[in-house]
Structure 1
């Protein structure tokens, strides 16, 4: 009896998947998600909008954060194969859509690592270890380039070791943000706080436009552990557990420090780049003569937090790119899992190279202006990330129709209206990221990123649009480069059908029972 090609694992997938090790347990996934979602580099970007930032945090937690968590709880348990977000998109919309979307999803992370994360780490070190003085260019590179490659090395390590790095990163967040909140209370008792009137919490359209991009960026990432789906011990039970608990932890870890910043620093003095670090420096004055030592420890924790944010995203997105390589949506050279480590070393190194190039280019283009550097790279990072979700989200809807018989241990309620709501929010946000203040006050003073002048609106648009267009073109070229792999996979599938051969590996949605690669496509297209 011939087998349905769409439920078959082909030889490349089986060969690469056999190198994966199941080291990813329930609490590993939980701590991984906390590192993924809670990014201390963007806390100040939210706080800079004042009291309404907290209001919109709550609103978007209800209308975006929770629906997204429900969506990925279904996809993550129904289709738990390696390469999750790539696999879902490719199964739903084909190899071309999968290739382009997955490149956008992947490239965000080396850009983010070499851009905003490296810049935020350097700023913290300047404040706490260089008396607030800006590093010279050679020193800046001496700090940031090793930062990038330490993250890459952590991603290269076996998940048996690498998962402990993300666990340390999660506890670094608990410690840093917990101590910060306690210190804010002590500071408020000693020095008082500048008032936040009730009116500052009133939501305004201009505030929504300003905040929606960074808030949605803070709230995405529930799907990332499924990039390592076949390295999970029990995805069916562990994914919903980790998503539910990480959602609660993440909201609290964002909301409380943001309120703390608003209480101790006037809104007009909170900057995207340094607001959280500046708030730490201000409040830690309560430690008196020990303030420099305690502040230095906080600076190290801050660097560890931003480093592990990069590590988790590199770990996940690099796996998705590797899967696309042996599935025919990227160069086959990239689709290789290291047999000894069980990690996509080639893609990891590729990420490090891209991060380093972004770091050098962004520093050169912005003339070393840290604020302009941070704003421009953060805008590209957020827009590219959110564009990729424009196909990942609706894949749930499509896969319900195309794969109705797949077991779904968890089912998203009201999936049609909630998916539409997610898509509308994403589309609006992408427009605002490309053209801040569009439909309201394009590149007006309230929406213009730090370091940019009113006359530079056209240049800013180019810095956002050109990279995205370039990334889409590269995604198409990746698809073209995978043509031979797709044809070989399709030919092998035909041979298996003709021979009535057994399936190599597990079935769709095999979960903890032992899946062995991505669901294969039925054509070379």
Structure 2
């Protein structure tokens, strides 16, 4: 029998970077203005640090495919575990759909050709089902894709940051740096971006579901989280700084991404450089979706095996034991969303789908922090190869502060806090969609209870 390939520490670090680091993250956040630097630094300390420490302790104490579902279930029982697994899973096909709708425009940049509607739809579906097909195979078989995507992500972010600094030094600063501009305004516009930054810092728990593919998970999980966390923080700040000093704030919006930044910095919408960057960016989308699909599928399948997700999600491949039921469900939902998209009101489809996915994703993390605190108190006998050196009030701060930030993010992402027509048009679909998916999760819980009785 062929020996199963295992992750080295270097590979584990690159896998964390591939999962957590989002190359296009810095551009939308730069729309805040100079106060983005405050928010990056504040959230790296107030959210990323405690979240990374919590994930490292729980991930090494409770090793397995369950991830955050397993942690919450052990702390609060199956009802909360079922909710977490539902929110955690449903966010992925929505996110997959949001990236799929970007595919035709990226291919237009690469080829210079504009695609008719029917071909654009086929390209979106091809993106979705290629991800699904690759996720049928073990993560160790796809490690070269994860490693390559991580390297390309870092390269793109460093390039956009370096190009921004070059433009700022050669042509002057695009936005005036003053002490006042660096301080947060705490207005609706500024606070609405907190959720985007937090989203770009999530994903450490995914590496915990790869434990079976590691040489020494109890050491590699905390080491990879710490090393990758430092690398990710440094690159985010560098790329954000480059964009912030070179591109005027009024030219950046929430839908602006890496490619918009390259176009604005070079003053060109075509040419070999833009084509090359679009191709590399498309590769990072594949790597990002693949890494997340493997973690999400493991968690959803494990939850289904415990009776907390629909039975279909528990279906595994007879050939390699991979969770193909949850993978197929991802493909079905994402395909339905992109096919339905043309019928929706004319708006930024990427941002609409992304916002809805963001709400569901953040909801899944709310119980994780109190679960960490509860398990520290009620299950102290379980060995913790990595243990956060905190107790008493400091331990409570590590739990409460990230939860508060998630609640704030949910409010500003899902609720229309202004009643003007533009805000209502942007937010109401997200509000309604979030309520629908939450109620659907509760219906599944009710059906499960009825069957059990």
TM-score w.r.t. length of structure 2: 0.90
The structure 2 residue matched to 1:267, chosen from 220, 235, 249, is 249
Give the equivalent residue in structure 2 for 1:201. Answer: 182
Deviation per residue, 1:126-173 (Å, 9 max, x gap): 445437x7x542232133221112222222222221222111110111
1:59 paired to 2:25: no
Moved more, 181-190 or 59-68: 181-190
Aligned to 1:315: 294
CA distance in 1 between partners of 2:125 and 2:405 (Å)? 35
Cα deviation, residue 208, structure 1:
4.0
What are the ranges of 5 or more consecutive residues in structure 2 without an aligned counterpart? none
Alpha-carbon contact 1:113-1:355 (below 8 Å) kept: yes
Distance 1:263 1:311 in 2: 33
> What does residue range 371-450 of structure 1 map to in structure 2 within 5 Å?
372-412=348-388, 413=390, 414-436=394-416, 438=417, 442=418
Equivalence map 1:456-495=2 (5 Å): 456-479=422-445
Deviations 1:63-82 (A, max 9, x none): 11101111111101111121
Number of paired residues? Answer: 445
Q: 1:23 to 1:159 in 2, by over 3 A?
A: farther
Aligned alpha-carbon RMSD (Å): 2.6
The answer as to whether partners of 2:162 and 2:242 remain within 8 angstroms in 1 is no
Q: CA separation of 1:121/1:317 partners in 2, compared to 1, >3 Å: closer, same or farther?
A: same
Aligned to 1:26: 9
SS state of the match for residue 393, structure 1? helix
1:144 paired with 2:124, answer yes
Task: Compare 171-180 and 241-250 and name the one that shifted more.
Answer: 171-180
Aligned with 1:156: secondary structure?
coil
Partner of 1:517 in structure 2? Answer: none
Match of 1:112 in 2: 95
- Provide the secondary structure at the position in 2 that maps to 1:294: helix
What is the Cα deviation at residue 189 of structure 1? 4.7
474-483 or 335-344: which moved more?
474-483
Query: Are residues 204 and 140 of structure 1, via their aligned partners in 2, closer, same or farther at CA, if it must alter by over 3 Å?
Result: same
Q: Kindly indicate whether the alpha-carbon contact (under 8 Å) linking 1:110 and 1:314 is maintained by their aligned counterparts in 2.
A: no
| 386-395 or 120-129, which deviates more | 120-129
What secondary structure, in the 3-state scheme, does the structure 1 residue paired with 2:285 have?
Answer: helix
Q: Equivalent residues in 2 for 1:122-521 (5 A)?
A: 122-130=104-112, 135-198=115-178, 199-206=180-187, 208-284=190-266, 292-367=271-346, 369=347, 372-412=348-388, 413=390, 414-436=394-416, 438=417, 442=418, 454-479=420-445
Q: Is the contact between residue 175 and residue 247 of structure 2 (CA under 8 Å) also seen in structure 1?
A: no
Q: Does structure 2 conserve the Cα–Cα contact (< 8 Å) formed by 1:159 and 1:343?
A: no
What is the CA deviation profile of residues 195-219 of structure 1, one whole-angstrom value per residue up to 9, with x for unaligned ones?
4322321211015412211111111
2: distance between equivalents of 1:21 and 1:344?
18
Contact 1:184 1:260 in 2 (8 A): yes
Distance in 2 of aligned mates of 1:336 and 1:195 = 54
Question: After superposition, what is the alpha-carbon deviation per residue over 1:442-472, rounded to whole angstroms, capped at 9, x for unaligned?
Answer: 25xxxxxxxxxx3254454442233223323
* Partners of 2:426 and 2:256 in 1: CA distance: 21
- With over 3 angstroms needed to count, the CA separation of the structure-2 counterparts of 1:180 and 1:319, relative to structure 1, is same
Distance 1:455 1:403, change over 3 A: same
Matches of 2:74 and 2:425, distance apart in 1 = 38
Offset at residue 109 of structure 1 (A): 0.9
Larger Rg: 1
Task: Give the distance between the partners of 1:272 and 1:122, measured in 2 at CA.
Answer: 19
The SS at the match of 1:111 is helix
Secondary structure of the structure 1 residue equivalent to 2:293: helix
Gaps of 5+ in 1: 1-19, 444-453, 488-523
- Report the secondary structure of 2:382's partner residue: coil
- The whole-number CA distance in structure 1 between the counterparts of 2:316 and 2:395 is 35
Instruction: Give the secondary-structure state (helix, strand or coil) at the position aligned to 1:54.
Output: helix
Q: Separation in 1 of the partners of 2:164 and 2:27?
A: 15
The match for 1:75 among 52, 58, 66 is 58
- d(CA) in 1 for partners of 2:168, 2:106: 23
Q: What's the CA shift for 1:28?
A: 2.7
> Where in structure 1 do 4 or more consecutive aligned residues deviate above 6 Å?
none
TM-score, normalised on structure 1?
Answer: 0.79
Q: Deviations over 1:193-252 (max 9, x none)?
A: 424322321211015412211111111111111233333332210011110011111112
The answer to whether the Cα contact below 8 Å between 1:41 and 1:306 also exists between their aligned partners in 2 is no
Equivalent position SS for 1:382 = helix
